[in-house]
Amino acid sequence: MIVRDLHEAEQTRRRVVTKGWESTRLLLKEDQMGFSFHMTTIYAGSELPMHYQNHLESVYCVSGEGSIEDIATGEVHQIKPGVMYALDKHDKHILRAKSEMKMACVFNPPLNGLEVHDETGAYPLEAETV
Residues that bind ligand 9YT (CB under 6 A): 21, 23, 38, 40, 50, 57, 59, 95, 103, 105
Q: Which is nearer to ligand 9YT, 72 or 127 (CB)?
A: 127
6 contacts: CB under 8 Å, gap ≥ 6: 24, 26, 39
Q: At its nearest, how many Å lie between ligand 9YT and the CB of residue 122?
A: 11
DSSP label of 8:
H
Q: Which is nearer to ligand 9YT, 27 or 50 (CB)?
A: 50
Alpha-carbon gap, residue 67 to 121, rounded angstroms? 17
Asked if 130 and 13 touch (Cβ cutoff 8 Å), the reply is: yes
Q: At its nearest, how many Å lie between ligand 9YT and the CB of residue 47?
A: 12
Residue 51 — left, alpha, or beta (φ > 0 → left; ψ -120 to 50 → alpha)?
Answer: beta
Q: At its nearest, how many Å lie between ligand 9YT and the CB of residue 85?
A: 9
Indicate the residue whose CB is closest to ligand 9YT: 23
